[in-house]
Structure 1
Amino acid sequence: MGSLTKRLPLLFALFWAGSGVAAAAEYQITIAGMKFGAPPAKPHVGDVIVWRNDDIFRHTATARDKSFDIDLPPKSEGRMTISRAGAVDFYCRFHPAMTGKLDVQP
């Protein structure tokens, strides 16, 4: 039983890899100098975005369509899982000139 228990993680990984199901990716968008960093080129539904605020000011990452609103105190980060495909414009509620766009693939 001991050797099977040791091999289960490997067997699961091989099954998962061979199933055609892609693992979720994780991307980081950093806020610095009162600007959002470049968003990932082709994120997919199920991927994770880590919003990192390196500024000394509080910011948000807020979707114009209200699908997300991440509050980011100075020197903090917040995580979200992308839940739907399509273009999503986002901005900072405290600094509306700070904007960006996610183009989420299915």
Structure 2
Amino acid sequence: MMTTNQASSPFFLNDLCELANIEGDLLVIAAYEKLDIGTQSDEDNFTNNIWAVGHLAEALALECGGDSPRYTHPSCKGLFDDVVALGRTICPGAWDYFFGVGLEEAAAEAAGW
């Protein structure tokens, strides 16, 4: 569902729902961290929580990267910024790395690679 208003970027209600779902997933991971759940390292020295944060970061970046106007509408921007900040709070290295990977993939797709 797309609605219009004075902002130049489109507003999709589904964007808010997707951001809220990602925020919820990140809050669960943050709780797991506090409870020492999913914190055992694998052979790559990553925990399940780090992999989960990385997956969410990359998926979000794929959706908003390239030439995508997703999550830029003023109604979404605050929640988007909160989600990014939460991901960085939980595991800044994984969030930043995988978000960057997702942005690179999105840019390559937008360029037609």
In the superposition, the TM-score normalised over structure 1's length comes to 0.23
More helix by share: 2
Bigger CA radius of gyration: 1
Which structure's relative contact order is higher, taking Cα pairs within 8 Å and 6+ residues apart? 2
